[in-house]
Structure 1
Amino acid sequence: MSRRFFGTDGIRGRTNTAPMTAEMAMRVGMAAGRHFMRGNHRHRVVIGKDTRLSGYMIENALVAGFTSVGMDVVQFGPIPTPAVAMLAESMRADLGVMISASHNPYFDNGIKLFGPDGYKLSDADEMKIEALIENGDIPLAEPANIGRARRIEDGRGRYIHFVKSTFPAHLRLDGLKVALDCANGAAYNTAPTTFWELGAELVPIGVTPNGININQDCGSTAPQLLQETVVASGADIGIALDGDADRLIVVDESGAIVDGDQIMALIGTSWAARGTLRGGGVVATVMSNLGLERLLGDKGIPLVRTKVGDRYVLEAMRQGGYNVGGEQSGHMILSDYATTGDGTIAALQVLAALVESGRPASELLRQFEPVPQLLKNVRFAGGKPLEAESVKAVIAQAEKELEGIGRLVIRPSGTEPVIRVMAEGDDGEQVKRVVDRICDAVAGAAAVNA
């Protein structure tokens, strides 16, 4: 049975358009609250959000839903996604909720749910909540048992204290100039405070949210402003988070972008060298560069690949006992410290390595030479173009060409009618030819089915 509302990272969509409406948010609160009312204790949910204007509407609707079934609500206001996961566990809550559409524009929003252990919900839990949303007659609490709501103002402070505890106690950031882009999002207060308290000289950008400027020409998905700021200010390094601060992209002192693959390479190899890499390997998705796999392999560290999505990375990490994983896009999961991706914690690991090495970021963070990689998207109107015999034949030929010298990853998008075609290999021109041939075949098959 396919899921109707939940995607790979909660429920997400354009605000005031189904499913991201106030009515749906209230229904989610009722269904999730009822599903997690287990045992005889007083039940509690913690709610955080990013800085989107629609967060007020979604939050109030969720509060109404949760309290209507008898669950108490603790509201933190704007706070990073990983903070919600951490606080759900530390406050012994039955459920954690983050209201965010991550790196999407302000007009989108989303609802992410975390269980009492701080981990994102399993597919089974999401399916049961969906069933209640769609079909269930959700029992409401008796009048005397309706939940209460309260706002806690020190949620940010609790998270800052926790994040700082992950930074090596013998190190400081004194003398380090850091350009920090918080995407006008959830970490606009927590990240600058964290780095400042550890001694860094900050050049902050993206720290003046107004409800509609989240991720707008800033943050990890639009790092151009950070690149310019690093060079213009003479910063030693640039750190870019996304709207809910679970993603990290770094810019070195020359203004060059450092993606998640290089960050995983740095953390994975440094942890292996000091004997703290658990599971014996690193977990990444099928999109991570072949250069990362080769570097780790040369050091005897296997790279375990998963489907695209940080939830699949985390599942593989938990199953195999790994403590380092992530995505090329910048989601970094360091399970020694967090139950979900945390851009600030990952950034602190990078800064610690920078301080200890005494080397410039451009040297330290160039762990491997990326293999030429090309990704193109083909939009289609209907049908299943990947099942066409003509497309299968072209793909088979491409796989034969790249065997032993490259990789091919072809997958349908999980959120839109798009086929994503990615190839990589030592010969950039060959990679381009392969991708173009497959895209042409997919487009041709799609046209036939249109």
Structure 2
Amino acid sequence: MSRILIKNATIVNEGKQKVADILIHKGIIEKIDSYINSPSDRIINAEGLHLLPGLIDDQVHFREPGLTHKADIWHESRAAVAGGTTSFMEMPNTVPNALTQELLEDKYQIAATKSIANYSFYMGASNDNIEQVLRTNPKTVCGVKVFMGSSTGNMLVDDENTLEGIFSQVPMLIATHCEDEETIKMNLARYQSEYNELTIEMHPLIRSAEACYISSSSATALAKKHGTRLHILHISTADELSLFQNDIPLIEKKITAEACIHHLWFSDKNYAEKGNFIKWNPAIKTAHDRDAIFQAVLNGTIDVIATDHAPHTIEEKSKPYSQAPSGGPLVQHALQALLDFYHQEKMTLEQIVQKTAHNTALCFQVERRGFIKEGYWADLVLVDLNKPYTVSKSNILSKCQWSPFEDHTFQSSITHTIVSGNLVYENGEIIESVSGRRLLFDRN
């Protein structure tokens, strides 16, 4: 690996900003100082730029294997680093579902040759694979994913005995998708009986706030009963916030929560313009829900921000509401969206770093990543806060070739991304040279 020297960067890390140089050697941050003069293979002049820890996205769907007409690890990992995301954790509802240790390891082998970003993959849980789940190595796998709501394949876990078994026996982090299936089915039946045709505006009413709260409250009750390390993904309602604490340090929390970019940016008022292209599960709900989630991010009730990046083709998303799949691409523009919040004085740079890097590393106990520290892996992103960037089809790197942010002009740009000490993105260009590394976890 080459030696990289970054000069005069404004470093944002652990609640502070300072101008300093950073020397990277053999993938590791070797030295941080006000002035470094060392022979280097590459010197980056970062004067006027801000240096942040690379984002760690704890929830993406890169669709490989089995659904690669929508997305794949090669394309989506490059979209990630172009947006300043240096590490991702990918979901098990690919085809086949990652429900055995062998199928899970297959995904790691694919990433080892195709991913330009660092990677980890969740082990999937079903109603009948507890023995496989319990074989998961907590030091090399980010977590176990439980769909307590509808999913593809054999991944809906709705058997009470199975849930008791998972929550009582799994010794590592369990991440959940929480929507109550029965409530959704009842809502859907009611709307189908009342209307000739369902529309996108009905989506947050069918996949309702009640469905989310019922499922999330069930998950937290199970976690409290068994002392489980629980992480609830993509909180979408104000009601669910009462289930989480903000009065203890993150490292003492057994139950944590995640918010996603789309639930912080959009509300149900945007369905009229965006239609199925902002159809997600859980649904984007009211402005009140959005604003409450945003406040919960700021006050520590919600611990991390992620994307739930989940591409579908334009053709699939253009179908009528009831036939269009849920999900969309976000990983390339997540940091820029958050930097727009910074420009709007809704968040500080320090808060962005905390919620996208520091806290994710702490929640998952990621080994030597998520902070700008000597001895840590060099996962870094340089941003120009005052260089506008307009999203267009020509600069979208996700395989699906669309974005809910298309035609939006962000106020900031990503200039450089470094993954495990390798410069992989510079001023709009991917640098094809190396693969990312498998994330490891500092767990007993």
TM-score of the superposition, structure 2-length normalised? 0.30
Higher relative contact order (CA 8 A, sep 6+): 2
Identify the structure with the greater helix proportion: 1
TM-score (structure 1 length as normaliser): 0.30
